[in-house]
Chain A
Amino acid sequence: MANTYQLKRADFIFRNENDWEKVLSDARQKKPQELINELISSELKGRGGAGFPTGLKWKLTSEAKSDVKYIICNADEGEPGTFKDREILSKVPYKVLTAMAICGYIIGAKEGYIYLRGEYKFLEDELNKAIDEFHYHCKEIKLDFKIKIFMGSGAYICGEETALMESMQGYRGEPRNKPPFPTGAGYMGKPTVINNVETLAHTFTIFKYGAKKFYDLGVQYSRGTKLFSVSGDTPKPGIYELELGMSLQDFVYEFGDGDTKAVQVGGASGFLVPRKKFKDAAIGFQGKLTGISLPTGGSMMLFNSSRSMFNVLDNYLEFFREESCGQCTPCRVGCQQLLIGIKAVKRGDKPASYLDKLLRLTETMQYTAKCGLGQSVANSFSSIVENFREEMIY
Chain B
Amino acid sequence: MSPIQILIKDLADKHGRNRESLLPILQGVVEQEKYLSEYSMVEIAREIDIPAAEVYGTATFYSFLEAKSMGKNIIRVCKTITCAMKGKNQILFAIQNMLKIKTGETTPDRMFTLLETNCLGWCHKAPAMLINNDVYTDLTPEKVREILSMYMKQEIIN
**A interface vs B, CB < 8 Å?**
77-83, 86, 117-122, 150-156, 167-173, 188, 229-233, 237-239, 264, 268, 301, 303, 307, 311-312, 315-316, 319, 322-323, 325
A232 and B123 form a contact (CB under 8 A) = yes
Q: A153-B65, A315-B80 are in contact. List 4 more A-B contacts (CB 8 A).
A: A154-B65, A170-B21, A170-B22, A231-B126
Interface string of B111-139 (1 = CB under 8 A from A): 00000011111111110001001110000
- B99 / chain A contacts, CB cutoff of 8 Å: none
A168 and B20 form a contact (CB under 8 A) = yes
A82 and B117 form a contact (CB under 8 A) = no
- The residues in B between 83 and 101 inclusive whose CB is less than 8 angstroms from any CB of A are 84-85
Write the chain A residue with the least CB distance to B134. Answer: A122
Least CB distance, B25 to chain A, in whole angstroms: 9
The docked-state distance in angstroms from the alpha carbon of A152 to that of B123 is 20
Q: Contacts A83-B122, A154-B117 given; indicate if A173 touches B81 (C-beta within 8 A).
A: no
Count, A-B residue pairs, CB within 8 A: 117
> Can you offer 30 A-B residue contacts whose CB atoms are under 8 A?
A79-B119, A80-B81, A81-B123, A83-B122, A86-B121, A117-B121, A119-B117, A120-B121, A122-B133, A151-B23, A155-B63, A156-B118, A156-B119, A168-B20, A169-B19, A170-B19, A171-B19, A231-B124, A231-B126, A233-B85, A237-B124, A237-B125, A239-B124, A268-B80, A301-B82, A307-B85, A312-B81, A315-B79, A315-B81, A322-B63
The docked-state distance in angstroms from the alpha carbon of A228 to that of B20 is 34
The docked-state distance in angstroms from the alpha carbon of A119 to that of B77 is 12
Interface string of B52-83 (1 = CB under 8 A from A): 00000110011111000000000000011110
Q: Contacts A81-B82, A301-B81 given; indicate if A170 touches B123 (C-beta within 8 A).
A: no
Shortest Cβ-Cβ A-B pairs, 7 listed:
A154-B64, A231-B123, A170-B22, A153-B62, A237-B124, A154-B63, A170-B19
B124 and A173 form a contact (CB under 8 A) = no
A119 and B121 form a contact (CB under 8 A) = yes
User: B37 within 8 Å of A by Cβ?
Assistant: no
A119 and B130 form a contact (CB under 8 A) = yes
Interface string of B10-25 (1 = CB under 8 A from A): 0000000011111110
- B24 / chain A contacts, CB cutoff of 8 Å: 150-151
